[in-house]
Amino acid sequence: MPDTPPTPPSETAPRRVRSDVPFFTVMVAIGTSYLALILAMLWADWRFTSFAEIGKALSDEAIRFSITLSLLTCTISAILSVWVAVPIGYLMSRYRFPGKKLIDTVLDIPIVLPPLVIGISLLILFQTPAGRWMDTTFSDLMKLIGADGIRGITYEVPAVVLAQFTVAAAFATRTMRVTFEQIDPRPERVALTLGAGHASAFSRVALPQAYRGMTAAFTLAWARSLGEFGPILIFAGTTRMKTEVLSTSVYLEFSIGNIHGAVAVSMLMVALAMVVLLVTRLLGVGREVV
């Protein structure tokens, strides 16, 4: 080729758009690297254990108890989380009021605090006179309904739920706030002119639109609760057949040197989490309303 300087393209010449291949290659490559890390971890776990190991873990009565307790406590904390997240998310997305920024920051505290600190804070809270009163009142209440097994809150099953809920609710609240922020407030205002009060505008117009967000908040809270460990360790303890949940089981197995057992329980958690996440997501999409 002769060595002539390239002629600048005329301004009227049709523009040649560069290929999109590099863009998508880079995006997919970066995305895949993270996906690969997750899958590689699971693969390594899987290689380390076997169906026999998982079967052995499942045959252990303590592990079976821990699975049941995990399913139960995660579901209760997820329901409680959505229960508080809906009103907070709605109020924070729809209204301006003094101190809103401060409240917003406070609501994020459970997300930014180290889990251990949450556990210690809960423990200390329930050592205060008010906390002790709640502990004994709850214990009496349980006796009254015939659940004598639960003797108060601290170091009992309610402590597991409370520890999970404290963190999970913060995530659910974020989700619900974003959900309501994305819902157009104008139909609710129209409902007000049609004769509705704020309660029916909320329950008949806004809430039905928030269904997918509520599913997402529930799923997130459930998953977050399943993974919760630090606060449970401190506030509920790690008593076998009493306050042991799956994350505690992994820790207990690991601490007595039973790495195979710990990995087997971990795989159970992965399977459980995936089933629940998939089911809730399918339900959420299946009942899409808008």
Partner 1 sequence: MIEVRNLGIAVPGFSLKGLSFTVPDNAYGILMGPTGCGKTTLLEAVCGLRKTRQGTVTLHGRDITRVRPGERGIGYVPQDGALFPTMTIRDQLAFAMQLRKWDKAKQQQRIEELAELLGIGHLLKRKPRGLSGGERQRVALGRALAFRPEVLCLDEPLSALDEETRGRMIELLKRVQRHEHVTALHVTHSSSEAEQLGTHLFRLVNGGIQEDTA
Does 203 bind partner 1 (CB under 8 A)? Our answer is: no
Nearest one of 246, 274, 242 to 58, comparing CA atoms: 246
Tallying the residues shown for the chain, one arrives at 290
Q: Which residues contact 256 (CB under 8 A, 6 or more apart)?
A: none
237: left (phi over 0), alpha (psi -120 to 50) or beta: left
Does 195 bind partner 1 (CB under 8 A)? Our answer is: yes
Does 87 bind partner 1 (CB under 8 A)? Our answer is: no
Residue from the set 196, 270, 273, 277 that interacts with partner 1 by CB under 8 A: 196
Nearer to partner 1, 171 or 202 (CB): 202
Q: In this chain, which stretch among 35-43, 84-92, 171-179, 189-197 interacts with partner 1, using CB under 8 A?
A: 189-197
Cα(194)–Cα(52) distance, integer angstroms: 64
Q: Which of residues 4-23 bind partner 1 (CB under 8 A)?
A: none
What are residue 242's phi and psi, to 5 degrees?
A: -135, -60
Nearer to partner 1, 13 or 199 (CB): 199
Does 199 bind partner 1 (CB under 8 A)? Our answer is: no
Residue from the set 53, 209, 212, 254 that interacts with partner 1 by CB under 8 A: 209
Structure tokens at 174: 């974020």
Nearer to partner 1, 178 or 192 (CB): 192
**Could you give the string, one character per residue 158-187, with x where binding to partner 1 holds by CB under 8 A and - elsewhere?**
--------------------------x-xx
SS3 19: coil
Cα(198)–Cα(121) distance, integer angstroms: 37
Residue from the set 50, 93, 200, 258 that interacts with partner 1 by CB under 8 A: 200
Nearest one of 52, 175, 155 to 107, comparing CA atoms: 175
Interface ranges with partner 1 (CB under 8 A) = 184, 186-187, 189-197, 200, 204-205, 208-209, 289-290
